[in-house]
Amino acid sequence: MTKLLSLVPYILALVVLIGAIVEFSKDSDKFKNSKLKTTALVVLFLGSVLTLVSLYQDNREKENARQEMRRLEGKADAANSAQVANTLLYIGSFQRLNAELSELKTQVKTDALQKKLTTVATELEATRRALLPGPKATLAFTFWPFYNPPPPQPAVLATQARFPTNDDGSYHIEFTVVNLTDVDALDGEFTLTICDLCKFAKEPPGFTKLDGQSDNERNQVFQRILARTHIPDMTADIITPKNQNFTMGITYRCHTCILSSEPSMGTALVSGSILKQAPKARLPVQKLK
């Protein structure tokens, strides 16, 4: 039925064309000039053809429009279906996240996770402070003890000292790391370095040798060294060439420290005169974290 109805405009156009031809035939004797008669027939034919073509083109455009409408309706239906599916997916995801959060809140009550969260918070705070503009901390190596008078007199680091020998001939060295600045040194490590010809008689307490690290280097990490404090004194037993002074010191990195390319060093004196022993340090001692 729909196809038949679509043919109605063409049928009507053919009826009009046939009627025009019939009328033209009745009146053809009025055209005395044959060329004029032929021209009239051509015009009538072309007009009919153009009418049919116009009808066809119009119907084709309408059909294309209907097809495009159906296509868009199909896409809209697909989009709606996808939206419904996505909504269900999001709802499921939110439900899973809520379940995970509830589980995490329960787990946070445990000591292990509490410590982990505390560590993460400390690291984030250290990173935040490291990114802030302003002064940076500077660490320094010093033999122990070092001269540290009451304020406002400044401390004087002991960069030279003499130390006793052990039974095996190694030297028992006492030293520490000092933060003389007004900025806390946070989340870092320092490397203890001894002279190229020196060797550690035994592993220094609190230090570790990293994979691939030189035999004359050892590492120690720290969480913080507060401003205007030093960490407890440390020891190292060192084997050196006979009757030769030797150097040792530290390099360091931390989130709030100045990035220094030069190590902080001291010289252990084996022979000759030495500086008078300094009094015990009065700078506050901070337990290494």
> In this structure, what CATH number is given to the domain that contains residue 151?
2.60.40.290
pLDDT tens profile 10-32? 666 666 667 666 665 666 665 55
> Are 196 and 258 found together in one domain?
yes
* pTM listed for this prediction: 0.52
Under the banding of pLDDT at 50, 70 and 90, the label for residue 246 is: very high
Residues in the chain: 289
Same domain, 195 and 257: yes
- Whether residue 252 sits in one domain with residue 160: yes
| SS3 label, residue 187 | strand
pLDDT in the model for residue 206? 96
Q: Is 217 part of any domain?
A: yes
Q: Check pLDDT > 80 for residue 288.
A: no
Same domain as 144, residue 78: no
If pLDDT is split at 50, 70 and 90, which confidence band does 280 have? very low
- Spatial distance between the Cα atoms of 121 and 163, rounded to a whole number of angstroms: 42
C-alpha to C-alpha distance for 151 and 142, rounded to whole angstroms: 19
In-domain check, residue 257: yes
Q: Look at residues 52, 70, 85 and tell me which one is the last residue of a structural domain.
A: 85
Does 232 fall in a domain?
A: yes
Task: Please indicate, yes or no, whether residues 156 and 255 belong to a single structural domain of this protein.
Answer: yes
Confidence of residue 276 (pLDDT cuts 50, 70, 90): very low
Question: What pLDDT score was predicted for residue 93?
Answer: 58
Q: Would you say residue 165 lies in a domain?
A: yes
Phi, psi angles (nearest 5°) of residue 281: -65, 140
Domain residues for the domain of 152 are 139-268
Q: Write the pLDDT tens digit of every residue in 62-75.
A: 777 677 666 665 65
The verdict on residue 164 lying in a domain is yes
- Pair (76, 153) in one structural domain: no
3-state SS class at 253 = strand
Is position 189 within any domain? yes
Q: 134 pLDDT band (50/70/90 cuts)?
A: confident
- Please tell me the distance from the alpha carbon of residue 85 to that of residue 173, in angstroms, as a whole number: 72
Residue 281 confidence class, pLDDT cut points 50, 70, 90:
very low
- Which amino acid is it at 57? Q
Residues 159 and 233 in one domain: yes
Question: How many C-beta atoms lie closer than 10 Å to residue 170's C-beta?
Answer: 19
Predicted local distance difference test score (pLDDT) of residue 20: 64
Question: Burial letters for 243-259: b for 16+ Cβ neighbours within 10 Å, e otherwise?
Answer: eeebebbbbbebbbbee
Tell me the average pLDDT of the chain: 76
User: Are the C-beta atoms of 181 and 169 separated by less than 8 Å?
Assistant: no
Q: H-type helices in the chain, by residue range?
A: 2-26, 34-107, 111-131
pLDDT of res. 27: 60
What is the structure's pLDDT at 243?
Answer: 77
pLDDT at 174 over 90: yes
Q: Tell me what the mean pLDDT of segment 28-38 comes to.
A: 60
pLDDT(269) > 50: yes
* Residue 191 falls inside a structural domain: yes
- Overall domain count for the chain: 2
Q: Is the pLDDT of residue 251 over 80?
A: yes
List pLDDT tens digits, range 175-225. 999 998 999 999 999 999 999 999 999 999 999 999 999 999 999 999 999
Question: Is residue 243 in a domain?
Answer: yes
| Co-location of 160 and 238 in the same domain | yes
Provide the pLDDT for residue 273: 39
Whether residues 156 and 245 share a domain: the answer is yes
As a whole number, mean pLDDT of residues 119-134 equals: 59
Q: How far apart are CA 65 and CA 91, in angstroms?
A: 38
Q: Please tell me the predicted confidence (pLDDT) of residue 242.
A: 80
Q: What is the pLDDT of residues 73-100, one digit of tens each?
A: 565 455 555 555 555 555 565 556 556 5
pLDDT at 148: 83
Residues 60 and 152 in one domain: no
Tell whether 150 and 240 lie within a shared domain: yes
